[in-house]
Each structure stands twice: as structure tokens, then as C-alpha cells.
Chain A
């Protein structure tokens, strides 16, 4: 964002102008909104001299505008996708300017979730770059009177080698624009050997802005005349305001008014939760006014929800036969024969996202139209949800995307953006709604709580002859359909129906669970609990058989093969099984590699130390992780070292990818150490970082070594796949160190911290 409108707050400051309600930042940053002949959705790329694609434009001065259509929440997609365009264009990265797209269907899907930005847009970005390069070459060839086939490109120039002629992209832009935009079939993509940036990567385009505080997040967005809002939501999902008294709230200096927001009509989807909003001059006044509200609630049917009882209900369901979602052979026939059988119950509680920037959005309703500025992963979803809520057309909603202070899936759900739009309509001014951390923790779309039951009959070597796994969790679909209780195929496909072991008899089942809170995607989603359950139960069986967990894991994965999903509803993360088959050989390879890299079985460990291993494929990426822990006699767990190997096919930005996997180890540490949301009488018990603790610098792995498999396979995800194997390997390491088998997360349930 910094270059779009790089407003210098330094200048602002050194000028000594610190005025109440200073709007310099906001007005400048969004000045394009009101300037002259441009439509609100226009980009500089649209208005560039050469504009062969919605993603790209070239000006006569050689500036290359590249549109980032997906949201930046820390994965570097805002840099990495434009980098692919620049590579295929042979553009000088220093002359590239990135601009952030608003929500607009012309960019295709913009919901930045599911670790698929690169996978889904790799070809599109290459074609955009190649298209412009093709036209620039045509223009130069015509100018020089030579065949286009004799021309090539070098950094930001077209070259005719035999006559030693060169022309810059800027000077060719105008002539190139006169040529027709070529068909995809006419394009010749660069060979791998000629790649400049793909596979080498680049640091974030916003890096300097991020360290100077100049980066603009949703929390920093402002426009003229805006007011601030803080909303007291119903403490129980589906609750309603019975009555309220705002006399004291209105006495708070700076508070203008209070506004009631209607409760949502089930299902919740992306509707605002309802409640009472306090509108004020500044954020602090809105917070203070809110504390003085006196509200009487009707809590509704979810008032009877207690997470402790609910856990028992889920567990009971897993102990009875459930819906079979994948079957191989006849596991029950083997169990009926008796013999050596092991069973285990696993459990993962509700988890909150807790991105560092709480939910926040600014919206202005004016003349029947809405303009919003939000840190959203899903600007088109925000357009849809606002349009629906206010009864206006989607085209009448403009959603600007700021930088996101973390997302992890929470900001794919634009309820808070809709809330700002609803409030602006009621107040008649631009409204910035700011959620507190307490709001964020208490009113999340939580990662589902899950109970799992495993049963294995084993042969004399401890290898399963029959394997049963049953999971029960309130599905994400319940957020959009009040009747949904079973896991839906896309989420069952996240590490459950694709349990990869080569075993003769497998039964994979799923049972029903009714949701009492909003359930949503969180980084790695269902893979968190599925990966944990399967990989830890595997470690249990290895230890029961007195076998090395690595050898045992490889034995179960079996020989390299492609998993046959015939008869199974397996959506494969929306990718075709032809392009992205499930190859157990790749899972084997990362497992073998991580063993080697971590010195598995070779390094000496003290008595208080243990190492654990786990392997998991998610978002089409194969990952294996070895975690080393050290546990003292007080049960305090340290993590001296983590090694992780990933095969994500072609990796465009290796440095950013390593960062994602280092981050995943930290995210996984939070999940395993302390991640837990509970509820009493329908209301969430946790509120802030004192009771929903996330990992701090002294609790995380001291060293996470990340190794990337060199691969020409099509690109796969990197933001999410690191979490699931980390959690399992961490718990397996704890078993190795202490003999304590963690089956119920978090580890605090076992006297560990």
C-alpha cells in the first residue's frame, strides 16, 4: 500500500501539525476516490498506456503497474503474485508498482483463504505478463522493420541482437497498445532457465512501510467526517436485546448516540450479530460509553450450551457407528474376530483466530451506495453481504482492501464490515467500527471442536490389519445452514477421508454435531484435528509395538502409490486429481528427508528430551515434521528444535515459504500449548490474552529449520500446511520425553505447560 499513496507521516509530524481529527492520512490515501474522471474501481493499470490485462499496465515512463487482487495478511501473496507477472514480462522489479484491487468480480476469485493464491493464479499471472511482453515485441519489430521472431526481451527492454537495437518498455508502450491483445495460444511462456524471480523470490513489497509504521491497516483507515463505534453484542449466539438503558453511556464525553442493531436471522452467515452500538468522537470514548450501557438480554436457545457437557456428547457419538465416508475392505469383520485391538479417544477444543489486528471496518453509506475500507480476506464476500443486508445491488458496494493485521481465516468472514455499513446507514455518517480484543475472542467463527475415536486391530508386528476412525464435529456449513450437522466433503477431505495408509481394511466415519457457536475456517481448518488424531494414534501404535515411530510411519504409508478415491467424495481442495493426485511417494519422501535432516535416531538425547515425528498432506502440500522437546520435572516444555520438510510443488517465493513454515510452528505451538475456547451457558469463557494465551517468544521453538523439496510439480499451498504435522509431532515428542500421551488438547490437561 505504501506506494499507492505513500503519505509521509514523518512529514506530517515534522511539520508539527498534530491537530484533533487530523485527516491527512485518510484523505490522501483514498484521494483517488473523488478525483475527477476515474471511476471508483479504476486502477492505475486501467489507465496506463499499455493495458492488456486487468492485472497489468505500462506507462510511457516505464512504470509497470501490477494489480494485487488478493489480500495481504502476511503470506506475501501481494508481492509473490505480481512477481510472477514481472518475471514473465521480463520487468525490472524496481520499476514495478503494486496497487491493491477493490472487491471486483473481474479479478476472479478474491477470497484469500485455502492456501491457493499461487496455485489458482500462477497461470493467470504468467499469461498477463506474457501478453504484455508479446505486444511490446510486436511493437519493437514493427518499428525496426524486422520479424518479431528475431526480437527478444532483456530486463525491461526489447532487443534485436543482430542489429544491436534496444527499446525500453516505456517508449514502446504506446505503439504496443495499438496491437491486438494476443490469444492465449499465441503466447510463448519463458522456459524455467530464463526465470528471473520465480523460484528465487523477493521480500515483501511493503517491507519498509511495515517497519516504519507507514503501512495502512484497516485499523488505520480514516475518511473525513467519520465517527467511531463500539458494539455490545449479545453474549450468547442468537441472543436479542430485551431492553436497554443508555442514559449513563450518553453522559460520557465524546459519545454522540447509541444505535440498536437488529439480531440476525438464522443462519448467522456473515450477518452482524446485533446488539447496541455506541457512536463517539474517538475509539476510547466509544469503549467507555459502551461500558456504561445497561442491557437486558434474551439469550435464546443456545443458553443451554456448556462446552464441558458438549464434549461428552461428542465423545458418546464417536462411540457408536456413524456415517461411513470411505471404506476399504471390511474392518468390522476383522474386529469381530478378536485378537489384539487398540482404541483411543482424541479431542481438540474450539480455537479462536486472534489475529493481532482485531476486527475493524470503516464504511460510508451515501446516496444508496456503500463504500467500505476493511482488512478483509474476502472483499467480494463483503460486497455480497452488505448488499444483502441493506437491500442494495452488489455493484453499489465498493470494498477497498487495506493491509490485514493477520487474518488466519477470520477475515474471510465479513460480518464486521457489514456491521460498519449498517451503522453508517443508521447514523448518516462514515462509521468506523472497532472491535476490542474481548469482542474478537468472544465473537469469533471458531475452528470446530472435534472428538475422534480410533480403533486398530494389529498383527504380530503391530501393523494394523483393520483401522477405524470416527470423527464428530459441528461443521462449518452450520454457519450457513441451520440444519447442517455432518461434516461436508470438502472438510472431511482435510486429512480424514484421505487418511493415506496402505492397509487392507479401513473404515472412515463421521457423526453428527449441532453447532451452538459460529464455526469457521482457521488456518489449516479440519486438518488441525484430523492430523493430530491420526498422527498421534499412529505413534501410539508404534510405541505399543515397540517399533521406531519413523519406521512404523513409513511402513503404514507403504510403497509409493496414488490413492484411489473411486467411490469417495473427495474434493481435493478444489483441484483436479489429475493435476494434483494424492501421491504417497511424496509423503514418504518428505518423511525420509526430515528424518535425515533432523538426525533421527542418530542424535543423542538426554532423559528429559524427546523427539516426535508426523507427516501430513494438506492444501495439496506434503509436509513432515520432527519436533524436539525438553520437559523438566515441573512439566515445563521447551522446544529446542524443529525440522520440517515440505513438498509444495513449484515454490515461487522460497523465503516467504520458509517464513510461513516457521510461523506455522509457532501457530501450532499456540494450539498445542494452550489453545482452548470454552463456553458456559452459551457464553464464551475467555476474553483476552490472559485466558486465551498464544505463544510468546520464550515458549516457541528456538530454531525451526525449513527444507523445501525441489519440484516441478504444479504449485500448492504454503500458508496452512505447516500447522497439522507440527501439532502431532510436538505431542509425540512429549510422549517420548515423558510417557504422557496427549489425547486431549491443549497439553495443560496433562499438567504440562
Chain B
């Protein structure tokens, strides 16, 4: 039995300990905000926070999540919208939107560690998150807006 916290709530899981966190969240817990894009940690659509760190949930086995705290997009902000989500709306970032939850989780983790990231730091932190629609220019702007800069 694996114990973990998801968005602040205690959970237990008695399935295959090799199951990636992503499929636990989506198929077992019913939290479908985190997306399946590649299954091998190359696209970032499945990004969640594990103990505050941006993590590719598609390659994080449940056995390694035992006793850890997981935050998904559904729990990113308890009341209303997180500043990163607000910035995403203000800059009108999404097109199809499928990758954006992962982008937002990645950006939120970046801003937790760096209050005012430079362009280079943004590129480095976000390079693991693919957006096939090509919203990157706006992602950069939105991160700066969320960081309190003039976008």
C-alpha cells in the first residue's frame, strides 16, 4: 500500500507500484488535468509538482512517490487562480491548450525558485515542455507578467 498526498489530501494506492503517477492521477484518481503527451518524459504535458519540484508524472513510478506530496493543476491554487494562470489568461497564451497545464506547472515551479527569471533562464526551465501550436512567445511573456514585470 502506497501512501501519498494529492493536493493536500491523504491518499492510498494498492495497485501496480510501477504504474506512473500520471496514470494513477488520470485513470484512478480521476484528475485529468495532467496530460499524456509522450509517455517518456520528453514533452512535459504531464508536469506536476512532487514535493514542490516540477516532475514528469508519466515517468515517475508510484513506488517512488510513496509518502510524497503531489500537487496537480487542480490543486495549484486553493482559491481562485494562481498568478501564473492569471498571467496565462491575460496574455492569452493557449491555443489548443493541451500542453498548457504542464507549461503552467513548470512555470509555477520556476517562479518558486526564481522570482525574476531572465529570458535565458525561462528558455532553460521551459525547454522540456513542448507546445506544438507554437505559443512559446506568449509563454515567455506570461512568465514575465506573472513575475511582476511589464509584459
Instruction: Please give the residue numbers on chain A whose beta carbons come within 8 Å of chain B beta carbons, in ascending order.
Output: 9-10, 12-13, 16, 18-25, 72-76, 203-204, 206-217, 219-220, 228, 253-254, 281-285, 287-288, 354-358, 403-408, 434, 436-437, 655, 659-660, 662-667, 669-670, 688-690, 694-698, 700-704
Contact = CB atoms under 8 A, between A and B. Distances in A.
B126 A697 contact: yes
B130 A689 contact: yes
A211 B81 contact: yes
Contacts of A704: 137
A406 B132 contact: yes
Given A212-B81, A405-B98, A282 B23 contact: yes
Given A13-B7, A355-B96, A663-B135, A283 B26 contact: yes
A444 B3 CA distance: 40
Nearest to B97: A210
Contact of A358 (B20, B37, B123): B37
A354 B122 CA distance: 24
Interface residues of B, number: 65
A22 B29 contact: yes
B149 interface: no
B89 A217 contact: no
Interface in B48-81: 72-75, 81
Contacts of A16: 9
Contacts of B28: 18, 20-21, 282
A676 to B, nearest CB: 16
B35 A219 contact: yes
Contacts of A12: 30
Contact of A25 (B9, B32, B137): B32
Contacts of A214: 33
Nearest to B120: A698
B34 A213 contact: yes
A209 B100 CA distance: 11
A703 B137 CA distance: 7
B19 A663 contact: no
A13 B6 CA distance: 9
B101 A213 contact: yes
Interface of B: 6-7, 9, 11, 15-16, 19-20, 23, 26-40, 42-43, 45, 72-75, 81, 85, 88-89, 92-101, 104, 119, 122-124, 126-140
Nearest to A701: B137
Given A356-B35, A405-B96, A437-B39, A694 B132 contact: yes
B38 A18 contact: no
Nearest to B42: A689
A284 B11 contact: no
Which of B19, B27, B134 neighbours the largest number of chain A CB atoms within 10 Å of its CB? B134
B96 A18 contact: no
B8 to A, nearest CB: 9
B123 A208 contact: no
A227 to B, nearest CB: 11
B137 A662 contact: yes
A219 B89 contact: no
B73 A659 contact: no
Contacts of B104: 211
Contacts of B85: 211-212
A700 B135 CA distance: 10
A68 to B, nearest CB: 15
A663 B36 contact: no
Given A20-B28, A436-B39, A74 B123 contact: no
A210 B104 CA distance: 11
A691 to B, nearest CB: 10
Given A13-B9, A211-B81, A666 B29 contact: no
Contacts of B99: 356, 405
A655 to B, nearest CB: 6
